[in-house]
Amino acid sequence: MAEVGQMDTPEQAEFRQSARAWLEDNRPADPIVRLPLTPLEIMTEGQLSYLQAWQKAAYDAGLVGCDYPVEMGGGGKNDCQRIANEEMLAARTPYMPNVIGLGMAAPTVFYHGQEAVKQQLLPRLFSGEDIWCQGFSEPGAGSDLASVQTFAERKGDKWVINGHKVWTSLAHFADWMILLLRTDKSVKHDGLSYFVVPIRSALGKGVTVRPLIKMTGETGFNEVIFEDLEVDDGYRLDELGKGWQVAMTTLLHERGAGDLVTPRSGGMKNKSSHVSNASSLISLAKRTIRSGSTAADDPLLRDRMMQQLVRETGMAASQRRTRVTALQDHPMRLPLQNKLLMSEIAQDTAGIATEVEGAAASLYLADDAAPDGGQWPMAYMNSFGFTIAAGTSEVQKNILGERVLGMAKSK
């Protein structure tokens, strides 16, 4: 595998060194609270405050928003976020809580927001003091996202918003939301507009957040109901009727194919941390006894485990190949595969793991006899969140077929 840092520019090399030095002294102590698998399942204030303190410290150290302009709270550097991410991962830091803000809201506000809004919102987004959520899906608008019905009606300098959003991760802690809605009912895509709207400060004043429970039994995502919420016109992103184009900026970054690198940390081990990858799958199989030998001796399971290892290694190699222009025929061909591959591989790995466990895969979190604490059946169920959210695998294949291979649009 590739060695970290060997292709750094002088600016990146210097930045890497200072990041590494800071992380050596300032990596936070392990939390007292149990952390969920991803920030999208944060359930308690205790979990949130620990993670927010980490994000604020990392931001103050210049590791978050490094590539954004200084006047918006960024670091004003060139392609240094990638370096910060590598160093934070290597230092096994906790993940950051404001994932939707960092990965989706920030690039969207940056490309489409008014200057005043950028300067108002981005610094607290980067520091994690404000948590963000995303209002896209509705009960009647899933894969057909452009059919959203949440409506904003003009009233002088303000807009009055009514509607219903679903699958809204982190809404129960959110200060702000990126919101795709309709300002014109007579046309489909061109009737969409895009706003940032307050959530926490508007609770009970036009905004209601109610938890939805996942098939795993966990909470973490919500439905959000707007009843006559009033918002200033300044919080509109880009022009009226350009909501669809703005949403594409959000989705491109959500799917890991945008041009702004998302600040990302992680790798911290804690007692509940569970990673669905080929190596943890193999380790499980070696510990699982069946018919006198281990599951790792079963030729059919070996083949399936190796398929996962090959796919995983292939995905990592593709991410490297994304940076070698001469080995690509189409610039979006690899980036647009990211989300599809990552979610499908994780799903298959967790699914195989439950087959390795056999009957013991019936045991869930509260059963002391559950292998790996019952995390594999839970990871398998959770994996459907990733193959469905942010554009289902089927939608991803439409996008790849149409944008990269040039096949006719399937709608």
Partner 1 sequence: MSQPDDFGFTEEAALLKESARKFFNEKFTADVLHNMVAGDPSPDRAPQVQWDEDIWQQMVDLGWSLLAVPEAQGGVGMPLVGVAGLVEELGRAAFPCPLLSTLAASYILSACGSEGEPALTEIAEGATATLVFADENGSLEPKATPIGVSSGNLDGTGYFVQDAGKVSHLLVCARSDSGLSLHWLGTDAAGVERTQDSIVDLTRDQAHIHFNNAQAQQVSADASAALEQALPALWTLYAADMVGAGEWLLQTTVDYVNARQQFDKPLGFFQAVKHPLVDVMVMIDQAKSLVYNAACAVDCEPEMARQYAHMAQASASDMADYSGSRAVQCHGGIGFTWECYVHLFFKRQRHSQMLWGDGPWHRARLAEIVIDAVA
E-only strand ranges, 199-288? 207-212, 221-232, 236-237
| Beta-sheet pairing, 289-290 with 151-155 | unpaired
Question: Considering beta carbons, is residue 89 or 212 the nearer one to partner 1?
Answer: 89
Q: How far is the CB of 411 from partner 1 (least distance, A)?
A: 9
What are the backbone angles phi and psi of residue 256, rounded to the nearest 5°? 75, 20
* Choice from 53, 160, 240, 309 touching partner 1 (CB under 8 A): 309
**Part in contact with partner 1 (CB under 8 A); list of ranges 61-69, 85-93, 213-221, 324-332:** 324-332
Question: Considering beta carbons, is residue 116 or 310 the nearer one to partner 1?
Answer: 310
> What is d(CA 49, CA 51) in angstroms, rounded to the nearest whole number?
5
**Part in contact with partner 1 (CB under 8 A); list of ranges 62-70, 140-148, 266-274, 323-331:** 323-331
Task: Calculate the CA dihedral of residues 67, 72, 74, 75 and round it to 10 degrees.
Answer: 90
Stretch 358-377: interaction string toward partner 1, x if CB under 8 A: --------------------
What are the backbone angles phi and psi of residue 236, rounded to the nearest 5°? -80, 135
Residue 257 burial by Cβ neighbours in a 10 Å radius (0-12, 13-18, 19+): middle
> What is d(CA 340, CA 397) in angstroms, rounded to the nearest whole number?
8
Q: How far is the CB of 225 from partner 1 (least distance, A)?
A: 34
Q: How far is the CB of 343 from partner 1 (least distance, A)?
A: 13
Site membership for partner 1, residue 397 (CB under 8 A): yes
> What is d(CA 175, CA 55) in angstroms, rounded to the nearest whole number?
16
Category of 267 on φ-ψ map: left (φ > 0), alpha (ψ -120 to 50) or beta? left
- DSSP result, 159-179: EEEEEEE-S-TTGGG-SEEEE
Residue ranges in 272-301 that form contacts with partner 1 under rule CB under 8 A:
282, 285-286, 296, 299
Site membership for partner 1, residue 318 (CB under 8 A): yes
Stretch 4-23: interaction string toward partner 1, x if CB under 8 A: --xx----------------
Can you give the binding site for partner 1, defined by CB under 8 A? 1-3, 6-7, 282, 285-286, 296, 299, 302-303, 305-307, 309-311, 313-315, 317-318, 320-321, 323-324, 326-327, 329, 333-334, 337, 340-341, 394, 397-398, 400-402, 404-410
